[in-house]
Amino acid sequence: MEEDYSMNHLIVFTHPDKNSFNGALLERYGSELQKKGHNVKIRDLYRLNFYPALSREEYLESFNGKYKEDVKIEHSFIDWSDIITFINPIWWAGIPALTKGYMDRIFSYGFAYTLDKGTPVPLLGEKKAITIFTGGQPENLYRENGMLKSMRQIIEEGLFEFCGLQNAGSLYFGNIIMASNEERKEMLDGLGVFANQF
């Protein structure tokens, strides 16, 4: 009897235009995972009208294990997942405000981490995380000036490691605005190869 190696992939997608190259990445990545027999769920933050601002009330309530209904819904998707993938552009050397707001509200105290006498304790240690980012700057320039390293450190160490998520890969597709159709096809094919390792 053949064993089932399917995994649950949660994709958090942020881009105002689903017909953008980011949208093409989302479609290719999701379809490749499904071809491999994996379960895929997409949280399209723009289409969900996700509210990104963490209020004082919400912040304080989280320390008592109380969460807003929309936060509990996203918690359930993360609970379901084995791998969480973020697909979004890089704007002004950082992630979009909507993505950051998702992280602020959803990776909340008591769910993604807790504290033991002031020492952080990660709570998502059995899950993995992936970032797939696009940008106008070519990758070699972003790598040489240290921006790519800084950006990844903030996400991978500041969020993923803090919550116990294991980094399962990080892709950056640069020069998107000036890229030719052939170059974009090569990027999509590279993403297909990446997705097929799971």
pLDDT digits (tens, 9 = 90+) for 14-66: 999 999 999 999 999 999 999 999 999 999 999 999 999 999 999 999 999 99
Domain with 95 in it: what CATH number? 3.40.50.360
pLDDT digits (tens, 9 = 90+) for 122-172: 999 989 999 999 999 988 988 899 988 998 899 999 999 999 999 999 999
DSSP state of 71: H
Contact by Cβ (8 Å): 106, 74: yes
Residues ≥6 apart with Cβ < 8 Å to 48: none
pLDDT digits (tens, 9 = 90+) for 87-129: 999 999 899 999 999 999 999 999 999 999 989 999 999 899 9
Residue 108 belongs to some domain of the structure: yes
Residue 2 belongs to some domain of the structure: no
What is the pTM assigned to this prediction? 0.95
Residue 1 belongs to some domain of the structure: no
DSSP state of 37: T
Give kind and range of the element (H or E) at residue 185: helix 181-195
Q: How many domains, in total, are found in the chain?
A: 1
Enclosing domain of residue 60: 8-195
Return the residue matching tokens 């989280």: 62
Return the residue matching tokens 């320390």: 63
Helix (H, G, I), strand (E, B) or coil at 154: helix
